[in-house]
Amino acid sequence: MRMYDLINKKKNNLKLTKEEIDFIVQGYTGGEIPDYQMSAFLMAVCFNGMDMEETTNLTISMRDSGDTLDLSRIQGTTVDKHSTGGVGDKTSLILGPMIAALGIPVAKMSGRGLGHTGGTIDKLESIPGFSTSISGDLFFENVNKIKLSIMGQTADLAPADKKIYALRDVTATVDCLPLIASSIMSKKLASGADAIVLDVKMGSGAFMKDYDSALALADTMVKIGNMAGKNTSAVITDMNQPLGRNVGNALEVIESIEALNGNAPDDLLQDCVWLAALMLISAGVASDIEKAKEMALATIKDGSALKKFAEFVEAQGGDSSYVFNPSKFKLGEICEPVYAPCDGIVTKIDAQEIGICSLILGGGRETKESIIDLSVGIKIEKKLHDTVKKGEPLCLMYANSKEKLEQAKERFINAYTISESETEELKKHKAVYAYITRDGVNVIN
């Protein structure tokens, strides 16, 4: 086989066989295929796509390029939740304790954040003492004992994806459905859970900007997962504004604690409840979606999810007094509002820009080596549909540098569209749009 012929085949929109896809993935990972040939191939995929069989074969080939985790030491059915990434997305911090409180094991290997979206591990490290650098033995012991543990990723999962993703990043080939779906699913399939629930974000802060493309991605990933033998389902959720109100590491932990205390903003609560319901169905403890949602909500109402969060924090060395008294969290020393420039209704928010404001304040990483400031961030005061008066705060910014604060403020104002009345587009806005299982798509009204 020659890489030249395979690039040409995809350029001519012909279907690649499993052997040909394996040749490309193994050849590139092993260093025999150079970057320039792989770049040409990836661009051909961007223009001509891949069908379901090719996309699944690409996923399996990348999954098999490295370690596959063995979670068989965990008692019970493990369900992994994955989000395609969003601003203010703290659902893992809320869902983990909700699911664990119902006795279902949550064993999560998580990464650090890069760019405008934060990572779960960074957020958790804003709790003094909390460590995700724990041994595999302690991880499994905690999951079996308290049903919840989160550790930093140590295994070499899907190294082919790591290398290909880095190349996609510099060759404008990231935003391509079969490449995104296979990239995400190769890592999820390698991470060993029995079932997978995907939170596919849609909107201004997500990869997928509209419903049709989010649905196509969700549907492709659900099919890949099920074809690979894992019960996989997905929810399409909104990312046309930051999820909840807080963006930034410590601020997101504070909001998660408030949510576990029963005070979540509606979009955040809905997102968590739908994801939790699909996780409960995947774990086999519920069969009806409405009952599953009730079970999930009950863990917040009866306080068991909050208690579970405190137990989890303590088991990983964290100071659980912060869970019961979140005013102890250290926030940026400068706290200033950003004021509305006119009267009206908030009709549009560029969520990605809000994420970039948090990055500018120091809350995110520009490169893998950047050191982040866990105490900075943004507390959103006005969300979509809200009425504002000129001079009212749109948000509060927490910063430790006046210069960074001024830069972030200017960008924040430009991320908001304030209109005289609700737009047609805004009238269609929802927190959760649809869920997809192996049986098909269910639109949520």
Question: Residue 180 CB, nearest distance to ligand URA (Å)?
Answer: 4
Q: What crossing angle do the helices spanning 266-282 and 91-101 adopt, rounded to 10°? A: 50
Q: Which of 183, 186, 191, 375 is catalytic?
A: 183
User: Letter for the amino acid at 411?
Assistant: R
- Burial class of 326 by CB neighbour count within 10 A (0 to 12, 13 to 18, 19+): middle
Q: Which of 161, 219, 267, 271 is catalytic?
A: 161
168 as an active site residue: the answer is: yes
183 as an active site residue: the answer is: yes
> What DSSP letter does each residue of 157-219 carry, written as one string?
B-HHHHHHHHHHHHTT-SS-HHHHHHHHHHHHHHT--SEEEEEEEESTTSSB-SHHHHHHHHH
Question: Residue 166 CB, nearest distance to ligand URA (Å)?
Answer: 11
Report the residue number, 37 or 191, with the smaller CB distance to ligand URA: 191
Of 142-201, binders to ligand URA (CB under 6 A) are 165, 174, 179-180, 183-184
Distance CA 64, CA 57 (A): 11
For ligand URA, which residue has the nearest CB? 183
Question: Residue 187 CB, nearest distance to ligand URA (Å)?
Answer: 6
Q: Which of 90, 187, 230, 293 is catalytic?
A: 187
Give the number of C-alpha atoms closer than 13 A to the C-alpha of residue 32, restricted to the C-beta side. 10
Q: Which of 116, 168, 293, 308 is catalytic?
A: 168
* Structure token digits, residue 86: 């969003």
Report the residue number, 100 or 180, with the smaller CB distance to ligand URA: 180
Which of 241, 178, 234, 239 is CA-nearest to residue 208? 239
Of 347-376, binders to ligand URA (CB under 6 A) are none
Report the residue number, 165 or 339, with the smaller CB distance to ligand URA: 165
Report the residue number, 172 or 443, with the smaller CB distance to ligand URA: 172
Report the residue number, 174 or 444, with the smaller CB distance to ligand URA: 174
Q: Within 10 A of 258 (CB to CB), how many other CB atoms are there?
A: 18
Q: What are phi and psi of 3, to 5 degrees?
A: -55, -40
Question: Residue 217 CB, nearest distance to ligand URA (Å)?
Answer: 9
Report the residue number, 183 or 270, with the smaller CB distance to ligand URA: 183
Write each residue from 76 to 115 as x if it is in contact with ligand URA (CB under 6 A), else as -, in one continuous string. Answer: ----------------------------------------
Question: Residue 178 CB, nearest distance to ligand URA (Å)?
Answer: 10
* Structure token digits, residue 357: 């404001």
Q: Which of 63, 81, 82, 116 is catalytic?
A: 82
| Residue partners of 4: CB distance under 8 A and separation at least 6 | 37
149 as an active site residue: the answer is: no
161 as an active site residue: the answer is: yes
Which of 86, 435, 434 is CA-nearest to residue 268? 86
- Burial class of 289 by CB neighbour count within 10 A (0 to 12, 13 to 18, 19+): middle
Asked if 46 touches ligand URA (CB under 6 A), the answer is no
Question: Residue 184 CB, nearest distance to ligand URA (Å)?
Answer: 5
Binding residues for ligand URA, how many (CB under 6 A)?
6
Separation of CA 356 from chain center: 16
Annotated catalytic sites, by residue? 82, 161, 168, 183, 187
Residues binding ligand URA (CB under 6 A): 165, 174, 179-180, 183-184
